[in-house]
Amino acid sequence: MEHKPIYYSEYLQLDKILNAQAPESSKAGIRADDEMLFIIIHQSYELWFKQIMHEVNIAREVFRQPQISDNSPELMNVVHRLRRVTLILQMLVDKMDIIETMTPLDFLDFRDLLRPASGFQSIQFKQLEAALGLKFEQRFGQNYYTSQLNEGDINRVKDSEKEISLLELVNNWLERMPFFDHSSWQQVDNEHQSEHPFWQQYKDIYFSTLQPEERQNDVGFNMMFMNDKEYPAERRLSPRANRHALFIMLYRDYPLLQLPYELIGVLLDIDALMGQWRSRHLNMVKRMIGSRIGTGGSTGAGYLKSAMDSHFIYKEFAELTSYLIQRNKLPELDDSLKQKLMFSN
Amino acid sequence: MEHKPIYYSEYLQLDKILNAQAPESSKAGIRADDEMLFIIIHQSYELWFKQIMHEVNIAREVFRQPQISDNSPELMNVVHRLRRVTLILQMLVDKMDIIETMTPLDFLDFRDLLRPASGFQSIQFKQLEAALGLKFEQRFGQNYYTSQLNEGDINRVKDSEKEISLLELVNNWLERMPFFDHSSWQQVDNEHQSEHPFWQQYKDIYFSTLQPEERQNDVGFNMMFMNDKEYPAERRLSPRANRHALFIMLYRDYPLLQLPYELIGVLLDIDALMGQWRSRHLNMVKRMIGSRIGTGGSTGAGYLKSAMDSHFIYKEFAELTSYLIQRNKLPELDDSLKQKLMFSN
Amino acid sequence: MEHKPIYYSEYLQLDKILNAQAPESSKAGIRADDEMLFIIIHQSYELWFKQIMHEVNIAREVFRQPQISDNSPELMNVVHRLRRVTLILQMLVDKMDIIETMTPLDFLDFRDLLRPASGFQSIQFKQLEAALGLKFEQRFGQNYYTSQLNEGDINRVKDSEKEISLLELVNNWLERMPFFDHSSWQQVDNEHQSEHPFWQQYKDIYFSTLQPEERQNDVGFNMMFMNDKEYPAERRLSPRANRHALFIMLYRDYPLLQLPYELIGVLLDIDALMGQWRSRHLNMVKRMIGSRIGTGGSTGAGYLKSAMDSHFIYKEFAELTSYLIQRNKLPELDDSLKQKLMFSN
Amino acid sequence: MEHKPIYYSEYLQLDKILNAQAPESSKAGIRADDEMLFIIIHQSYELWFKQIMHEVNIAREVFRQPQISDNSPELMNVVHRLRRVTLILQMLVDKMDIIETMTPLDFLDFRDLLRPASGFQSIQFKQLEAALGLKFEQRFGQNYYTSQLNEGDINRVKDSEKEISLLELVNNWLERMPFFDHSSWQQVDNEHQSEHPFWQQYKDIYFSTLQPEERQNDVGFNMMFMNDKEYPAERRLSPRANRHALFIMLYRDYPLLQLPYELIGVLLDIDALMGQWRSRHLNMVKRMIGSRIGTGGSTGAGYLKSAMDSHFIYKEFAELTSYLIQRNKLPELDDSLKQKLMFSN
């Protein structure tokens, strides 16, 4: 079957892409040469947000399955795509250099013409945060939703927040990991998971490695891993998922755990880069408008600062690091479990 | 006068921007998840090419004037904008990382569906090369014009090539510089420019600094700066422009020469980055399709390699570096010329 | 006079440089392949801190002069060197990628062997902060000085803190700027600087541009610029310096103000990059050791977080941005002042 | 057992590192403020070359074993370390920005004092090229060895060239891969490897995918993969290694082939970055000294250009890309082979 010959500009729909820049300053008869940059950089950000959503959606599609075969390339595919997302985010962060070449005075030439639009109105960015795992109740500036977004956009974001997030899916996938279900430990595991001999042993070793001034970590360990009744409701990873994630971090030298280990790493990378993006963005806004009110009515700098401190999505993975021990003190795994984690040949 | 309230997504025309991705693989009912990336990265490149053209056109607009006042901010504006162009180009180069995450096998999933489109068909890139100063006769792959471009696009490129380029404008601006026209040297200068006492003196000092094995530079110096009858026709900068550019490089410590010096530097930066872009692009094509024929019918790698070696636009500025001497050997300028190069206070 | 022939490895003293890596793990007979990376990256950081200090010291040397001639290349030299510092800092920030390839478990292999050393003990970094303008009383973690540094190092830092900083020198240089001293306004200026007609006029225009919700800036303006008796003692720029810096930001299109404008910009860039460095560093520490106590006894993450919020040195320049107005509303300067800001030709 | 308390500056031997900068200009009583930068950037490069050698040596140590167990973390370790090498190389490339802030005139201030030293004398860089797989006979500028290096250094490089390189080790490891040795195909495989049914089948499919104008690839295929008697002696990968590398690229979705696939990719990344490094270096030299003779006596630019074209070490892996086919046309593997490539569970 033949397809119509493809031509570059048609394939890329450049008639749309390159005719979507209509500076307000031109309409107002004012010369403000930097408004083109302002438009194009934001359009470019939005294009890339679409791409990131595309990748994150593929990742979610994989994790939505009840089971992922270790022999399918699916987990590898997820890690591959999320690693790509980190490169994209890195580029979006670095690209801030370009908008920073617009000086405050140059921005003032057309800033007032943009009221009351604001970067807060980027729906894709909010959808991305939601897809990754940010909940509405964790958001800073919830009141801006109604004051700055139109109804259609509010609904689009709300809908995204209702979907199961990557964080939830990863939590569920971690919970399903059968590390200790195949063995004689099974029975114990089901009833009193926290007292599974492996974890009891691990806990003892862990405490023996603490410096005296670190003994407070005692409480932390029980809370994080031991199915405590008082496990804080706001935490996103369950104790079972915490244990399995820690297990992955500890025994990542086994072939089966390599990809899971990389997955955790790349989620942390994404978080770190989203943080860098907010931090660079904040700094840019400060230099551009100081502490003045943003075009949308919020104090741009204030919003970004607060979001920066509270919008970390995967920080619970980072916290696990506190509970690692030295490799040479790791408990030896029993043979049947080892078999599960290795190639047969 | 009131303006209509602006809303982010309308201002950025996101309905166009975010609805311009129609993967051929979807149309063909094939799953090729990476085609989205392929589309979006190219669209993003095209957006940025538009921005670069915007900046280069402002630069040309400034230089098209018969005179640029030293007290206007125009030259500063040009340098500022071209510096921004270097940041954009740097980002385009770095961004290659992202497309390189698409593996050859992933590309093969949809590659055949794109025939006979090819990156060669990016008209904006060709227009940009033309605006910067590349002439049709210097182009590699001239025959691809007719085999790969449609008639409208050929004409668009041709039209761009007819416009006066930034290189020509800078050459003319350099020629107009009145460094030696204000003095008693004027008369000499007009008739036998090459024998102007300053340049004779400079030439003597220059030769005294050469190592024995560098004496071949003798010929070069006369050719480059001395209004030689045999000045090669293919050179883009005239001997007079060469002299003035060299003068700027040598005496850049004077306030008036700072911006001209930066201008030359930023043009070289642009060239270097265009070179990096081609080089990275070439490397990427090699890894993606090896030595196979590109979708457009050319050997992608072959084209890029040849373009890489021949499309340097500002290399004549780089060549001037061979003719610098040490600062402490520079001829002292006469007082009236110094005055011209300094602030009055 | 002949000099001894130079040989690369001797010139660079590679016998010292390449024989200065003695992993503690090797001494302890433990295999910890990543300790080499840990050593080399820190040595590389220290090399670059030395280079940054070199550049900052040249900048201070220039500003220590009672007067800088507008026709000397000195200010250009300062801007050039500080711009280089920003490139170095950018590289130090980006380089964090490399140390982040060391996983927490790999670090644990040798971490205990390094006690009680810590990154806090980098004296050059503290000296650099002091040279740029950070005062001891602004530092977070002052108590760590005595608990973590030896006496020689405490003294080295204290001595640096006694030297006049770049921030103070720039403040003094701004104060000396004679923008309004040459005119009939002089007399007024000396006695009631705050009521100089230019600033009165500017203030009126500024307030007319504020949105209703921004009226609080009223107080700010008077405080920042009007020689208020209640000017906060902790501020590092005087009201007079604030006025002159704002003037530079507003009238930067005049040739004489270009370099001063770039100077302010590059100081802000340095601050932003130091902030990025702390932020990346913090993130890296969090991933590496979580919330555990650092090898030196402090909570690494806690220290870095606090330093990040309080060690911004040039933020008072950034705050000026709040007081800009649109270019087309700028008061016209009187002719004699304009003359001062332009080339004579 | 207690160890001596560690102190940052002693651990890092900062007394050596920070006292190893002795500018020739200072000795000569000339002020050349940029010589410090020149020294420090080169020292920093050398530090990082040492680190890269450290990683490459660990990789070689792994591959020197007769067998690498699929269940050991060794191959993962190699990929991890080589990926780190790419980050280091990327940083070395980017860092070129910093040295480029030194202008030609600033370099001329001290350039003559450095004769006849030259960057060619970096022994570590040559050792690195050798360790990666560059042979003396492939080197450009062999005559510079005797004219520019002292005898001790010549011997150090020669010794490195005698060691088995990473390229050779990877070739041997590829050759050992038992993809088709376990099956009934074994016998055929030993005698007439080229006629193994899998490869015959693959070849047929491959040719069916070629465009008419690509039929020349016919010869290439036989030459590359079919144990041809006329296999060119200068090629570094054997036909058997080529086949196995291609197999890895094609079937990388199987768990066992993921790391081998990543290994090939990271080797290509290293090559590409070494190429970028040479290209940036070349461009920098051109801007710094034009076409003048380098301090060591060679034409710096000429040497770098030639090295750039000929020193690609892993290009034979890149060439394999030409022989890929679309995933949906891949021959199905037989079950026993599949088993070998998957986890047992």
pLDDT tens-place string over residues C158-180: 999 999 999 999 999 999 988 77
Domains of chain A by residue range: 78-178+197-341
C94 to chain B, any CB pair closer than 8 A? The answer is no
C and D: number of Cβ contacts within 8 A: 160
Nearest-by-Cβ selection for C343 from B71, B76, B253: B71
- Kindly list the residues from chain D whose CB atom is less than 8 angstroms away from the CB atom of residue C25: none
Nearest CA in chain A to B81: A101
Q: What is the 3-state secondary structure (H, E, C) of D187-237?
A: HHHHHCHHHCHHHHHHHHHHHHHCCHHHCCHHHHHHHHHCCCCCCCCCCCC
Confidence of residue C144 (pLDDT cuts 50, 70, 90): confident
Indicate the residue type of A271.
D
Q: What is the pLDDT of residue A271?
A: 94
Chain-chain contact of B256 with C340 (C-beta, under 8 angstroms): no
Instruction: Convert the pLDDT of each residue in D30-44 to its tens digit.
Output: 999 999 999 999 999
Q: Transcribe A228-252 into DSSP letters.
A: -TT--TT-SS-HHHHHHHHHHHHST
Assign a CATH topology to domain C75-341.
Methane Monooxygenase Hydroxylase; Chain G, domain 1 (1.20.58)
- The residues in D 248-277 lying below 8 A from B, measured between CB atoms, are 249-250, 252, 268, 272, 275-276
C94 to chain D, any CB pair closer than 8 A? The answer is yes
Are B324 and D104 contacting, i.e. CB atoms less than 8 angstroms apart? yes
On the question of pLDDT at C52 being above 80, the answer is: yes
Instruction: Taking the CA atoms of C42, C44, C48 and C53 in sequence, report the sign of the dihedral they define.
Output: positive
Nearest-by-Cβ selection for C318 from A112, A279, A290: A290
Q: What is the pLDDT of residue A24?
A: 97
Q: What is the pLDDT of residue D2?
A: 59
Find the helix or strand (DSSP H, E) in which D261 lies.
helix D255-289
Q: What is the pLDDT of residue C344?
A: 78
* pLDDT above 70: percentage of residues in chain C: 88
- Specify the range with the lowest mean pLDDT, choosing from A307-316, A322-331, C49-58: A307-316
Block residue for tokens 């090629």: D235
* pLDDT above 90: percentage of residues in chain C: 65
Nearest CA in chain A to B98: A87
Distance CA C144, CA C148 (A): 5
Nearest-by-Cβ selection for A322 from C105, C276, C292: C292
Nearest CA in chain A to C298: A213
On the question of pLDDT at C284 being above 70, the answer is: yes
Chain-chain contact of D322 with B292 (C-beta, under 8 angstroms): yes
Q: What is the mean pLDDT of residues A41-49?
A: 98
C16 to chain A, any CB pair closer than 8 A? The answer is no
Block residue for tokens 């050059």: C124
- Kindly list the residues from chain D whose CB atom is less than 8 angstroms away from the CB atom of residue B268: 287
Nearest-by-Cβ selection for C36 from D51, D80, D113: D51
Indicate the residue type of B275.
G
Coil, strand or helix: which one is D134? coil
Residue D169, CB-side half-sphere exposure with 13 Å CA sphere: 25
Distance CA B327, CA C291 (A): 55
On the question of pLDDT at D286 being above 60, the answer is: yes
Distance CA D146, CA D141 (A): 10
DSSP C343: B
Q: What is the mean pLDDT of residues D185-210?
A: 71
B67 to chain C, any CB pair closer than 8 A? The answer is no
Nearest CA in chain B to A16: B16
Are B113 and D329 contacting, i.e. CB atoms less than 8 angstroms apart? no
Long-range contacts of A213-218 (CB under 8 A, 24+ apart): A213/C293, A213/C297, A214/C292, A214/C293, A217/A322, A217/A323, A217/C292
Q: What is the pLDDT of residue C311?
A: 81
pTM: 0.94
Block residue for tokens 């020193």: D311
Q: What is the mean pLDDT of residues A201-209?
A: 92
Instruction: Convert the pLDDT of each residue in C13-23 to its tens digit.
Output: 999 999 999 99
- Specify the range with the lowest mean pLDDT, choosing from A313-327, B1-15, B18-32, C284-298: C284-298
Which among B248, B247, B281 has a CA at the least distance from the CA of B262? B248
Instruction: Convert the pLDDT of each residue in B268-284 to its tens digit.
Output: 999 999 989 988 888 88
Phi, psi (deg, nearest 5) at residue C343: -75, 155
Assign a CATH topology to domain B32-340.
Methane Monooxygenase Hydroxylase; Chain G, domain 1 (1.20.58)
Chain-chain contact of D343 with A253 (C-beta, under 8 angstroms): no
On the question of pLDDT at A301 being above 70, the answer is: no
Instruction: Convert the pLDDT of each residue in A146-187 to its tens digit.
Output: 888 999 999 999 999 999 999 999 999 999 988 775 444 444
On the question of pLDDT at A342 being above 50, the answer is: yes
Indicate the residue type of C190.
N
Chain-chain contact of D6 with C16 (C-beta, under 8 angstroms): no
- Angle at the Cα of D96 (from D94 to D97), degrees rounded to 5? 80
Nearest CA in chain C to D78: C33
Does domain D34-179+255-328 match CATH 1.20.58.480? yes
Chain-chain contact of C268 with A287 (C-beta, under 8 angstroms): yes
- Kindly list the residues from chain B whose CB atom is less than 8 angstroms away from the CB atom of residue D321: 104, 286-290
* pLDDT above 70: percentage of residues in chain D: 88
Chain-chain contact of D71 with A258 (C-beta, under 8 angstroms): no
Coil, strand or helix: which one is C121? helix
Does domain A78-178+197-341 match CATH 2.60.40.10? no
Q: What is the mean pLDDT of residues A277-293?
A: 83
Q: Classify residue C152 as left (phi > 0), alpha (psi -120 to 50) or beta.
A: alpha
CA distance B293 to chain D (A): 7
On the question of pLDDT at D193 being above 60, the answer is: no
Chain-chain contact of B325 with D108 (C-beta, under 8 angstroms): yes
Nearest CA in chain D to B329: D109
Chain-chain contact of A91 with B88 (C-beta, under 8 angstroms): no
CB-count exposure of residue C194 (10 Å: 0-12, 13-18, 19+): middle
Distance CA D265, CA D257 (A): 12
How many helices and strands in chain D, by DSSP H and E? 19, 0
How many helices and strands in chain A, by DSSP H and E? 19, 0
Instruction: Give the torsion through C-alpha atoms of D125, D127, D133, D138, to 10 deg.
Output: 80
Q: Above 0.90 for ipTM, yes or no?
A: yes
Q: What is the 3-state secondary structure (H, E, C) of C40-65?
A: HHHHHHHHHHHHHHHHHHHHHHHHCC
- Kindly list the residues from chain D whose CB atom is less than 8 angstroms away from the CB atom of residue B108: 324-327
Q: What is the pLDDT of residue D183?
A: 46
- In sequence order, the 6+-apart residues with CB closer than 8 A to the CB of B205 are B325, B329, B331
Confidence of residue A220 (pLDDT cuts 50, 70, 90): confident
C55 to chain A, any CB pair closer than 8 A? The answer is no
Confidence of residue A188 (pLDDT cuts 50, 70, 90): very low
Per-residue confidence of chain B (345 residues) as pLDDT tens digits? 456 899 999 999 999 999 999 999 999 999 999 999 999 999 999 999 999 999 999 999 999 999 999 999 999 999 999 999 999 999 999 999 999 999 999 999 999 999 888 888 999 999 999 999 998 888 887 888 888 899 999 999 999 999 999 999 999 999 998 877 544 444 444 444 455 789 889 999 999 988 877 776 667 888 888 876 778 888 999 999 999 999 999 999 999 999 999 999 999 999 999 989 988 888 888 888 887 777 666 666 676 677 766 788 999 999 999 999 999 999 999 898 999 899 976
- Kindly list the residues from chain A whose CB atom is less than 8 angstroms away from the CB atom of residue B91: 91, 94-95, 97-98
B304 to chain D, any CB pair closer than 8 A? The answer is no
Chain-chain contact of B84 with A101 (C-beta, under 8 angstroms): yes
How many other C-beta atoms lie within 10 A of the C-beta of residue D143? 9
